[in-house]
Structure 1
Amino acid sequence: MYSGISQAVVPVMERTPGDGSTSYVLRLPEPLLEGLKLGASVNIDGVCLSAVTIDHDLVSFDVSDGTMAITNLGDRAVGSRVNVERSLKSGEENGGHAVTGHITGTAPITGINTGTGALYLRVAIPEAHRKYVFVRGYLALNGCSLTVAEADEATGEVKINLIPETVRQTSLADYRVGDRINYEIELQTQIMVDTIERCIRQSLQRS
């Protein structure tokens, strides 16, 4: 489990396609190496991955073809920057919201300003998941815990207002209109919506 607060932004050092998976090598800063063991879960751009090798500050992660198909990691080349967060430890403060690292899907960016003035990000959520997105609700984008400012259920367009610190601490400034971004629906919201829908459906079937 993660908090959705990016702890570092690092470049992809190596990318090696393999049989059924692709290996990515990242150079992690010292604070994120402390206590890191083989098999440890690390959030990379919102995707929960396991550390496969650790060579000083170089850490490799294998991404299965299935994960590549439903996330934007396939768009990440050598030199691309990614958000990194170690998993939460018991008792640690969660400054964002509960993020599982199980990506719901990818959404195209329809508008973005990470420069000056009013900073924001707009994405188009696919129709199947729009019912889980609410104004002032949580939405994780590339592993970042963000608050929904506007949500158009008809078009699926969601607006996220950004603060300069979020832009500084993440890779969001690297993105442009048309790029794909990973999104994860807030789990508790999904459970509540699905439960209410199921109860209503069962009630109507009995009546």
Structure 2
Amino acid sequence: MFTGIVQGIAKVTEIIAAPGLSTLVIDFPASRVEGVTIGASVAINGTCLTVTHQEDHHLYFDAMQETLRLTTLGGLSPGDTVNFERAARIGDEIGGHLLSGHIHTSARIVDIVRPENNVTLWFEIPAEWSNYVFPKGYIAINGASLTIGEVQGNRFNVHLIPETLRATTFGTVEKGQNVNIEVDSQTQTIVDTLARLGYDRPPSIQN
């Protein structure tokens, strides 16, 4: 499990392609890999991956083709930066909201607004996932736990303070870029339960 509090930015240094999978070699800040062991879980742009090898502060992760297809990891290139978070431990403070590291879908950045001292990002999400997006609700974008601002159809925005821009890759994102989305599990459960009970359908017209 993860908390959605991004612990830093790491850089992809190499991608090793093999039949059925790709190995991502990622350079982490040295202080962030202390105590890492083979088999440890790390969220890379919100995607839970397993450490398969370590060389100093370079960690290796194997990503299956299905993972590359369903997430934005398949579009990474050497030199790209990613958000990372090591798996939560018992007793850790939950500053965001609990995440599984299993990506549901991707969204596209459709607008970037830069008023003074903050940034507003607008995203477009596939219509079938918009049922789980509510104003003031939680959502994880590239592994960061964020609060949804406005919602307009299948578009929504988030407002980012300078510290979030500094500590994550959001400070350098561009319009048209795709991001990983994990919807809030509690919201998904409530919406799906109501749908099974028929509350997602308009009331029938009585004659």
TM over 0.5: yes
**Distance in 1 of aligned mates of 2:179 and 2:171:** 12
Q: Is the 8 A contact 2:6 2:84 kept in 1?
A: yes
**Distance in 2 of aligned mates of 1:49 and 1:125:** 24
The list of structure 1 runs, each at least 4 consecutive aligned residues, that deviate by more than 6 angstroms after superposition, is: none
Alpha carbons of structure 1 residues 28 and 114: separation in structure 2 relative to 1, 3 Å: farther
Question: Which residue does the alignment assign to 1:46?
Answer: 46
- How many percent of aligned residue pairs carry the same amino acid? 37
TM norm structure 1: 0.92
Alignment of 1:46-65 (within 5 A): 46-65=46-65
Out of 157, 166, 169, the residue aligned to residue 155 of structure 2 is 157
Question: Which residue does the alignment assign to 1:134?
Answer: 134
Q: Is the 8 A contact 1:114 1:167 kept in 2?
A: no
CA RMSD of aligned residues (A): 1.6
**Distance in 2 of aligned mates of 1:59 and 1:93:** 25
**Distance in 1 of aligned mates of 2:56 and 2:119:** 37
TM norm structure 2: 0.92
Matched, 1:196 2:200: no
How many pairs does the alignment contain?
Answer: 200
For residue 114 of structure 1, report the CA deviation from its aligned partner. Answer: 6.0
Question: Which residue does the alignment assign to 1:72?
Answer: 72
Question: Which residue does the alignment assign to 1:125?
Answer: 125
Q: Is the 8 A contact 1:106 1:183 kept in 2?
A: yes
1:161 counterpart letter in structure 2: H
SS at match of 1:3: coil
**Distance in 2 of aligned mates of 1:182 and 1:77:** 16
SS at match of 2:198: helix
**Distance in 2 of aligned mates of 1:177 and 1:15:** 25
Alpha carbons of structure 1 residues 194 and 52: separation in structure 2 relative to 1, 3 Å: same
Which blocks of at least 5 consecutive residues in structure 1 are unaligned?
A: none
Alpha carbons of structure 1 residues 44 and 114: separation in structure 2 relative to 1, 3 Å: farther
Which blocks of at least 5 consecutive residues in structure 2 are unaligned?
A: none
**Distance in 1 of aligned mates of 2:23 and 2:38:** 15
